[in-house]
Amino acid sequence: MPKTLISLEHISKSFGSQLVLDDLSLSIYENSFVTLLGPSGCGKTTTLRIIGGFETPDNGRVIFDGEDITRLAPNKRQLNTVFQKYALFTNMNIAENIAFGLKIKNKPESYIKDKISYALKLVNLEGYETRMPDSLSGGQQQRIAIARAIVNEPKVLLLDEPLGALDLKLRQDMQYELKRLKEELGITFIYVTHDQEEALTMSDHIVVMNQGYIQQEGTPEQIYNEPENAFVADFIGDSNIIRSTMIRDELVEILGTRFACVDKGFGENKPVDVVIRPEDVELLPPGEGSMDGVVTGLTFKGVHYEMDVEAGGFEWLVHSTRLSEVGKKVSIKVDPFNLQIMNVPESEDEEAISETV
């Protein structure tokens, strides 16, 4: 079992009358890549700032390696933060930027020089010591900001939407760079983003947040394939989410048609939400599937076609490498293992906790 490095215990935080975090508890393990994922205003950045010491919770504790650091100053914590705005010193060259924190700690010049070389090698920018920040691309500046953070040998690196200002290609390149760095450094990364692709690509563990609550946490595969509520299913990738009726174990009625499933324990004739990923919907000739329909929309996405299919009074989203033209009559088939059954919220409070954006 991995060692717990950081524990957030019953954290609450308000700004004025706005409650941002509500009794949040979370364990972060050593040497993991944890992503706090959610829409704007969900509380993910506030959580990161509380871990970093930039905000103090109204209630609760932050435990770091067994020590209560709730009110410890940021510069006293064994962590460093990389922000979306690189905050490089424009009047200093790259070597001076990287060395800034080490000089404050009065480290020897030989030690600083070795650390600069090591950090630049890690971020694939060897030989850039004398360059000025304004001569670098956005991706290079971000790597320098990361280099400046890692030379201080933190146990934890906090990253607050660090790729948000980069274009798509650079973002994708940096995702793999960050994953590689994490493996080479062997330290804990805590990453904040609203980008689902970033979270799924880089993380060992994803924490999905909304309205100050943790909606679900788990591996990328668990979050994508087994969402626990409609919010997670809707936020992580595309989904068909349909209010249905659980007839009995392993049988669910969707839009008036009965589908075999593998789920049990929901009771009989109970309302449920069914989540079906677009790539799990198979289109067959009319009459060969469970429900007939017609293709009403078509978009080419490069690696697949995205199609809208009107069936059972619902517009299904379908992803497939096989083209079905608009107007074509089709039949929908879904493997029982690809139907994800979820309980419908029973109260207004429960509904609010899993409310979609």
How many domains is the chain partitioned into structurally? 2
Same domain flag for 126 and 216:
yes
The per-residue pLDDT for 152 is 85
| Global pTM value | 0.83
CATH code of 290's domain: 2.40.50.140
Contact 156, 187 (CB under 8 A): yes
Same domain flag for 203 and 248:
no
The per-residue pLDDT for 209 is 96
Vertex 125 angle, CA 120 and 130, to 5°: 85
pLDDT at residue 176 greater than cutoff 90: no
The per-residue pLDDT for 237 is 85
Same domain flag for 210 and 253:
no
Contact 332, 309 (CB under 8 A): yes
52-66, 212-226, 232-246, 339-353 — which is least confidently predicted?
339-353
Picking from 98, 65, 50, the residue whose alpha carbon sits closest to that of residue 188 is 65
Flag whether 231 is in a domain. no
Distance CA 120, CA 129 (A): 8
The per-residue pLDDT for 64 is 97
pLDDT digits (tens, 9 = 90+) for 141-156: 888 988 888 888 889 9
Same domain flag for 217 and 246:
no
Flag whether 108 is in a domain. yes
Length of the chain: 357
Same domain flag for 49 and 138:
yes
Flag whether 190 is in a domain. yes
Flag whether 180 is in a domain. yes
- Residue 172: pLDDT band (50, 70, 90) is confident
Same domain flag for 187 and 275:
no
What rounded mean pLDDT belongs to the chain? 91
Vertex 324 angle, CA 340 and 274, to 5°: 15
Domain stop point among 199, 225, 251 = 225
Same domain flag for 129 and 272:
no
Domain stop point among 172, 201, 225 = 225
pLDDT digits (tens, 9 = 90+) for 189-215: 999 999 898 999 999 999 999 999 999
Same domain flag for 69 and 182:
yes
21-35, 43-57, 75-89, 277-291 — which is least confidently predicted?
75-89
Same domain flag for 151 and 207:
yes
Distance CA 357, CA 340 (A): 21
The per-residue pLDDT for 352 is 44
Flag whether 233 is in a domain. no
The domain of 259 spans 238-353
Same domain flag for 212 and 318:
no
Flag whether 204 is in a domain. yes
Same domain flag for 143 and 279:
no
For the chain, give the percent of residues with pLDDT over 90. Answer: 69
Distance CA 114, CA 200 (A): 35
Using left for φ > 0, alpha for ψ between -120 and 50, and beta otherwise, residue 55 falls in: beta
- Residue 124: pLDDT band (50, 70, 90) is confident
Domain stop point among 198, 225, 252 = 225
CATH code of 188's domain: 3.40.50.300
Span 78-107, average pLDDT: 87
pLDDT digits (tens, 9 = 90+) for 2-37: 899 999 999 999 999 999 999 999 999 999 999 999
Flag whether 138 is in a domain. yes
Backbone angles phi, psi at 89, to 5 degrees: -80, 115
Distance CA 332, CA 281 (A): 7
The per-residue pLDDT for 346 is 64
Same domain flag for 114 and 204:
yes
